[in-house]
Amino acid sequence: MSRKEAIKKLEQTLIRRRDAIRRALKGDLSLFQELHQEKTGDVLDAAADSVQDELNSQLIEVEARELSAIDEAIARMRDGSYGHCAGCGRSIPLTRLRAVPYATDCIECRRKSESKAKRGGVSWNRVYDEADATS
Ligand SMILES: [Zn+2]
CB–CB of 20/35 below 8 Å?
yes
Distance from Cα 84 to the centre of ligand 1, integer Å: 8
Distance CA 70, CA 97 (A): 12
Domain ranges of the chain: 3-104, 106-135
The answer to whether the beta carbons of residues 21 and 32 sit under 8 Å apart is yes
Distance CA 41, CA 63 (A): 21
Query: Can you give the pLDDT at residue 30?
Result: 72
Query: What are the pLDDT digits (tens) for 23-43?
Result: 888 877 677 667 666 555 555
Percent with pLDDT over 90 in the chain? 48
Q: For residue range 76-103, what is the model confidence (pLDDT) as tens digits?
A: 999 999 999 999 999 999 999 999 999 9
Quick check: 59 pLDDT over 50?
yes
CA of 111 to the centre of ligand 1 (A): 9
Whether residue 130 has pLDDT greater than 50? no
Q: Distance, CA 113 to ligand 1 centroid (Å)?
A: 10
Q: Which fold has domain 3-104?
A: Four Helix Bundle (Hemerythrin (Met), subunit A) (1.20.120)
Centre of ligand 1 from the C-alpha of residue 22, in Å: 31
